[in-house]
Amino acid sequence: MTIGSQELYDEAKESLERIQTFDVSTLSRTSELGSKLNFEDVQDPAQQLIDLYKRLSPTALQDFPDNVLTPIRDNANANYNLFKQILDFDPEQQNPSSVRTSYISQIESAYQPAFQSLHHYISYSLHRSADFQRLDTEARATLQSIEDKANKISENLSTHEQNAKTVLDEIRRVAAEEGVTKQASHFNAEYEHHKAESEKWQGYSLKLACGLGSFAVLTLFLHKIPFLKPADTYDTIQLATSKFLIFSVMAYMLFMATKNFLNHKHNAIINKHRQNALMTHTALVEASGNEGVRDVVLLQASSCIFSPQSTGYTSSNGESDISNQKSMIEILSTPVVSAIKETAK
């Protein structure tokens, strides 16, 4: 462009932007002119005319030669002058009603000639503004940005999912440990009960044993007491029978007290074993990776918890141990059998 063309471009751009940014609400002037002389009726055609100019992009003016910029500038200035006339309208002038009607008519009839003069340039402006190659490039860049953000969000979701899974596993583990601890407390309560009872019966047994021993020593000298000394064979039999009955009752009471002590001691140890098995089997199961080994651990823990156990305080047979060993053999053989079946397939 030459200097003259640059000046014409600046003038055309200024005129175009001035009419594009014009506020039609200022044309009504209702508060100043009243209900009879206001220009409310001109707002709609004025807005239609401004919208026509808004379709012509100022960016497209850079491509237009002087013979195109000139009519664009002149049309914009002419239509803006119509608006300026209404803004400068004086109700004190002669015959203001006729002047008002003339201004309104000029704006209503301004759209058609403006359209005839500008529609070719508006078409080019729309094509110029809608640079399809540029839009395609921007669309591809936007799409790539969206894909990058989607991948980043997906990675974040995967990370959060893994963290949530870890937290869930930890919650399950803690809940399982809490459940195991809660169940183990029942065995601990039984252990404390039987331990207290065994200590009580142990005291009874010691007292009865001392009493029985003292009575045995005392009976050695009963016949020498004057009023208990037997006078004949009948008295001797009576004294011997009495000593035997008393000794038998005390011995039986000692036997029962000792038996109760042994039973409670046995139950206390059994419940302690059950509590320990329940508290430790979870760690053993988690540490074992093989399914067969886990089954063996569970079976052993179940056997220790639910099966009768020998403690040395009471007599027991070996039936439970034998049946348990058979079950362990069967479980250990299960993975081997499964592996053989898979190989055969």
- Residue 105's Cβ-side half-sphere holds a number of Cα atoms within 13 Å equal to 6
Do 93 and 196 share a structural domain?
Answer: no
Last residue of a domain, one of 107, 130, 153: 130
**Residue 126 maps to a domain:** yes
Give the integer Cα–Cα distance in Å for 268 and 334: 36
Domain span at 230: 184-344
Give CA angle at 314 (313, 320), nearest 5°.
Answer: 120
How much helix, strand and coil, in percent to the nearest 5, is found in the chain?
Answer: 85, 0, 15
Q: Please indicate, yes or no, whether residues 200 and 272 belong to a single structural domain of this protein.
A: yes
Q: Is residue 288 part of a domain?
A: yes
Radius of gyration from C-alpha coordinates of the chain: 56
Residue 150 within a domain? no
pLDDT band at 318 (very low <50, low <70, confident <90, very high): very low
Q: What confidence tier does 221 reach under pLDDT thresholds 50, 70, 90?
A: confident
* pLDDT greater than 60 at residue 230: yes
Q: At what angle do helices 66-87 and 3-20 cross, to 10 degrees?
A: 40
Answer with the one of 63, 96, 130 that is the final residue of a domain: 130
* Residue 343 pLDDT greater than 70, yes or no: no
Q: How far apart are CA 334 and CA 298, in angstroms?
A: 15
Same domain, 261 and 336: yes
Q: What is the CATH number of the domain that holds 46?
A: 1.20.5
State the pLDDT confidence band at 172, using cuts at 50, 70 and 90.
Answer: low
Q: What is the mean pLDDT of the chain?
A: 78
**Is the distance from CB of 263 to CB of 202 less than 8 angstroms?**
no
Q: What is the pLDDT of residue 93?
A: 83
Q: Which has the higher per-residue pLDDT, 95 or 132? A: 95
204 and 300 together in one domain: yes
Mean pLDDT of 331-335: 53
Q: How far is residue 59 CA from its own chain's centroid?
A: 52
Both 114 and 242 in a single domain?
A: no
In this structure, are 126 and 198 located in the same domain? no
- How many structural domains are present in the chain? 2
Residue count (the chain): 345
What average pLDDT does this structure show over 141-160? 85
pLDDT surpassing 80 at residue 205: yes
Six-digit token pair at 196? 């207290």
Q: Assign 100 a pLDDT band (cuts: 50, 70, 90).
A: confident
Residue 172 lies in a domain: no
Inside any domain, residue 215: yes
Cα separations in angstroms, 14 against 8, 9, 82, 330: 10, 8, 17, 97
Domain shared by 112 and 195, yes or no: no
On whether both 244 and 107 belong to a single domain, the answer is: no
C-alpha 26/C-alpha 89 separation (Å) is 12
Whether 338 is covered by a domain: the verdict is yes
Tell whether 197 and 340 lie within a shared domain. Answer: yes
Has residue 156 been placed in a domain? Answer: no
Span 137-145, average pLDDT: 82
Burial class of 61 by CB neighbour count within 10 A (0 to 12, 13 to 18, 19+):
buried
Predicted TM-score of the model (pTM):
0.40
Within a domain: residue 269? yes
Rounded Cα gap, residues 246 and 222, in angstroms: 13
pLDDT at residue 96 tops 60: yes
